Amino acid sequence: MFEAIRKHSKVVMGVLFLLIIPSFVLFGIDGNYFSEKSPVVASVDGKDITQNEWDNAHRLESDRIRAQTPGIDGKLLDSPQARYAALERLVRDRVLRAAAQDMHLAVSDARLAHELQSIPAIAALRNPDGSLDAQAYRSLVGAQGLTPEGFEAQMRADLSVGQVLGGVVSTAFASPAESDLGMDALLQRREIQVARFDAGDYAGKVVATDADLQAFYQANTRVFRQTEEASIEYVVLDVDALKAGISVNEDDLRTYYKENQDRLVGKEERRASHILINAPKGEPAAAREKAKKQADELLAQVRQNPSSFATVAKKYSQDPGSAPNGGDLGFFTRDAMVKPFEEAVFSMRKGEISDVVETDFGYHIIMLTDIKKPRAPSFDEVRPTLEAEVRQQQAQRKFAEVAETFSNIVYEQPDSLQPVADKLKLKIQTAQGVMRTPQPDAKGALANPRFLEALFSPDSLQKKRNTEAVEIGSNMLVAGRVTAYQAAETLPFDKARDRVRDAYVARKSAELARAQGEARLAAWQKAPDSASGLGATITVSRDQMNGQPQALVDAVLRAPADHLPTWAGVDLAARGYAVVKIGRIVARDAGDVAALKAQQQQQYLGAWAQAEALAYYDVLKQRFKAQIKVPRPSADAVAQD
């Protein structure tokens, strides 16, 4: 049969062409022909947000944070909480964009121009005549991977979105009386005495028979369920792993030193004094001409007698910051001043007086008083820094070269990670108790949902094969394999006996502590003078809990204070019970109130505005049917008192 097909291949190809091509014409070419469709993780206004979009948003946000904070621990950015926060921001942006479109919120060309000009990096690109340096502007936005048209469209969209919540925030209002009432309640301090009935003190009174334990086990089988988990080994390919195997050639290092001497030396600083005659750009031409004439006269005066520059500046300069100092501006580098001023200063010789320089502020006469050129460091002084930079650059280039090799080896030799570790000199790492979802304390690869999903795939679990190479960050790949697997199961009573006993004793101890505490509370409420065992008097507030549990402080501050002293009972769950005597409200210091009142009113107004914005955003989420379809990661466990 195959021989017949080979002999009549042209006929067969023609038939296939006639069968396949019409289906593409009629139904289109779905992406699923070539790749698996990315799962949907959220939706807004009937439009899906996919896993790929989520991953891209998280990667962009992580890259932005790394650029702003180079020293940040990258593991923090890969945590489940950080990833989920990126998804929430993505959903929020989609909701606000949908609202802006629905409300027909537009941004005028004038508003866009004003906002662009308020960006310092763009304002610095203006020519002396006030026009924008188009080529420099194109280069600036090009560094972000955008064209000027694309950047302006993005800016316009962001401004439109800002109007959605901007109106709510800007119109928020809170009177001084409301602010005082809210802040006084929030910061109120109360004087208390506490009697604690700790559960641990009652453990010796608990009698646990076998029948009790059996009944407790049957009623709480979910508590004694063994979770699904795996023991794994994995290898990570990243720049740091590659740097360890790179040795830097001495000649290359010296060449790099020569090529980067300008950068290593640092920026030249210049010191100048100036005389400013104010003439803002928007002033009438007659006023600007008058200011220019005055500047010309002063220029002639100081050129005739350069030693009088400081005296003339003190008398005539209209710059309130420098005039009292004789016009002295101190030392500064390039990019610290507006362009025309900077160009004049850095083209002058020491002691020289410039011509009249026009800027948007007016007319300047400049004297260059000093030049500070930094000393060039020697090769030996900067060698460690240069070596680290070169090793980093070489590792980044090497990563691009070996990433494909890494992916191929873990796929082609699926029964072991040793070949890829040997080939690329990587360390095989191990981990036990790994679950399908990232745990609160997970770091690095173990905090990445995509890697865990690959580990718990049927192929990985059943055949113990390597996972594919999974990208978990910028220039970071990981592959792993399961070495042992424990399926989820409910532990039989015999295996769970110790855990059952501990849980039973803990619960009964808490119940005994609660019963004792409630009995004391009832007795002391009837006969306050009989109270004994109360601790020393302490003062608590929401911002100063004085070592007390959050639940206790909340109960104390919620308790009615119409008639003091009063009593409150606080159930501390597994920790036991507390009885609290609330003695009095401690007044805030009058001096502190006067000093902080204005600041606290602003804080209250800000909190109120934020609350109104969040409430309005919740309404918008409902209106545009925003839905996140993946579970929120559990918060870190909090140690109990």
For the stretch 218-249, pLDDT in tens is: 998 888 888 889 999 999 998 888 887 787 88
Q: Which residue has the higher pLDDT, 621 or 514?
A: 514
Q: What is the pLDDT of residue 621?
A: 87
Half-sphere exposure of 389 (CA within 13 A, CB side): 12
Q: Are residues 125 and 188 in the same domain?
A: no
Asked whether residue 592 carries a pLDDT value surpassing 80, the answer given is no
pTM as predicted: 0.44
Share the mean pLDDT of the chain: 82
Q: Is 6 helix (H, G, I), strand (E, B) or coil?
A: helix
pLDDT of residue 22: 40
Q: Do 533 and 475 have their domain in common? A: no
CATH classification at residue 77: 1.10.4030.10
Q: Do residue 16 and residue 58 come from a single domain? A: no
Average pLDDT over residues 605-613: 78
pLDDT for the residue numbered 10: 45
- What residues make up the domain containing 515? 184-220+492-588
Predicted pLDDT at 196: 95
Q: What percent of the chain has pLDDT over 90?
A: 34
Pair 244, 387 in one domain: yes
Are residues 13 and 64 both part of a single domain?
no
What lies within 8 Å, CB to CB, of 207 at 6+ separation is: none
pLDDT of residue 490: 84
Residue written as tokens 């309404």? 619
Res. 518: pLDDT tops 50: yes
User: Domain for residue 548, yes or no?
Assistant: yes
pLDDT band (50, 70, 90) for residue 309: very high
> If pLDDT is split at 50, 70 and 90, which confidence band does 438 have?
confident
Looking at the fold, whether 44 and 165 belong to one and the same domain comes out as yes
Please provide the distance, in angstroms rounded to a whole number, between the alpha carbons at the two ends of the chain: 79
Which span out of 108-112, 135-139, 177-181, 465-469 was modeled with the highest average pLDDT? 465-469
Domain boundary among 487, 511, 532: 487
Rounded distance, CA 185 to CA 604, Å? 12
| For residues 364-375, average pLDDT | 90
Task: Please report which confidence band the pLDDT of residue 521 belongs to, taking 50, 70 and 90 as the band edges.
Answer: very high
CA distance 633 to 640: 20
Tokens 């924008």 sit on residue: 132
- Cβ-count burial of 125 within 10 angstroms (0-12 exposed, 13-18 middle, 19+ buried)? middle
Residue 623 lies in a domain: no
- Check if the beta carbon of residue 540 is closer than 8 Å to that of residue 553: yes
Of 289 and 641, the structure prediction assigns the larger pLDDT to 289
The alpha carbon of residue 484 and the mean position of all alpha carbons in its chain are separated, in whole angstroms, by 36
Q: Are residues 459 and 531 in the same domain?
A: no
Q: What percent of the chain has pLDDT over 70?
A: 87
pLDDT value at residue 71: 63
**Which residue did the predictor score with more confidence, 187 or 242?**
242
- Domain assignment of residue 22, yes or no: yes
Of 348, 372, 396, the position where a domain reaches its end is 372
Burial tier of 554 (Cβ tally within 10 Å: 0-12, 13-18, 19+)? middle
Element (H, E) at 295: helix 285-304
Other Cβ atoms closer than 10 A to 464 = 15
Domain end: 372, 402, 419, which one? 372
| Closest to 483 measured CA to CA, from 446, 431, 439, 423 | 431
- CA of residue 268 relative to chain centroid, distance: 35
Higher pLDDT, 110 or 455: 455
Asked if 155 and 215 sit in the same domain, the reply is no
Lowest mean pLDDT among 42-46, 86-90, 433-437, 585-589: 585-589
pLDDT at residue 291, as a whole number: 92
Place of tokens 């191990």: 430
Q: What is d(CA 167, CA 602) in angstroms, rounded to the nearest whole number?
A: 18
Count of residues for the chain?
Answer: 641
Distance CA 491, CA 220 (A): 12
Total domain count for the chain? 5
Output the pLDDT for position 352. Answer: 95
CA distances 459 to 415, 454, 464, 527, Å, are 12, 9, 7, 71
Query: In this structure, are 366 and 387 located in the same domain?
Result: no
Residue 629 lies in a domain: no
Give the separation between CA 441 and CA 208, rounded to whole angstroms.
35
At residue 144 the predicted structure's pLDDT band, cuts being 50, 70 and 90, is low
Inter-axis angle of helices 210-219 and 493-526, to 10 degrees?
Answer: 90
Categorise residue 519: left if φ over 0, alpha if ψ from -120 to 50, beta otherwise: alpha
Based on the fold, state whether residues 390 and 345 are members of the same structural domain.
Answer: no
Average pLDDT score over residue span 562-566: 89
The span from the CA of 638 to the CA of 641, in Å, is: 9
Q: What is the mean pLDDT of residues 482-510?
A: 90
**Element holding 278 (H helix, E strand):** strand 269-278
**DSSP secondary structure string, 423-439?**
HHT---EEEEEE-SS--
- Which secondary structure element, helix H or strand E, spans residue 357, and what is its range? strand 357-359
From CA 526, how far away is CA 567, in angstroms rounded?
11
Over residues 312-356, the pLDDT tens digits come to 999 999 988 889 999 999 988 887 888 899 999 999 999 999 999
Tell me whether residue 189 is in a domain: yes
The pLDDT value recorded for residue 35 is 40
User: Residue 55 phi/psi, 5° resolution?
Assistant: -60, -45
Domain assignment of residue 595, yes or no: no
Cα separation, 557 vs 549, in Å, equals: 13
The answer to whether residue 496 is domain-embedded is yes
Considering the domain architecture, whether residues 245 and 394 belong to the same structural domain is answered as yes
Strand, helix or coil for residue 189: strand
Q: How confident is the model at residue 185 (pLDDT cuts 50, 70, 90)?
A: low
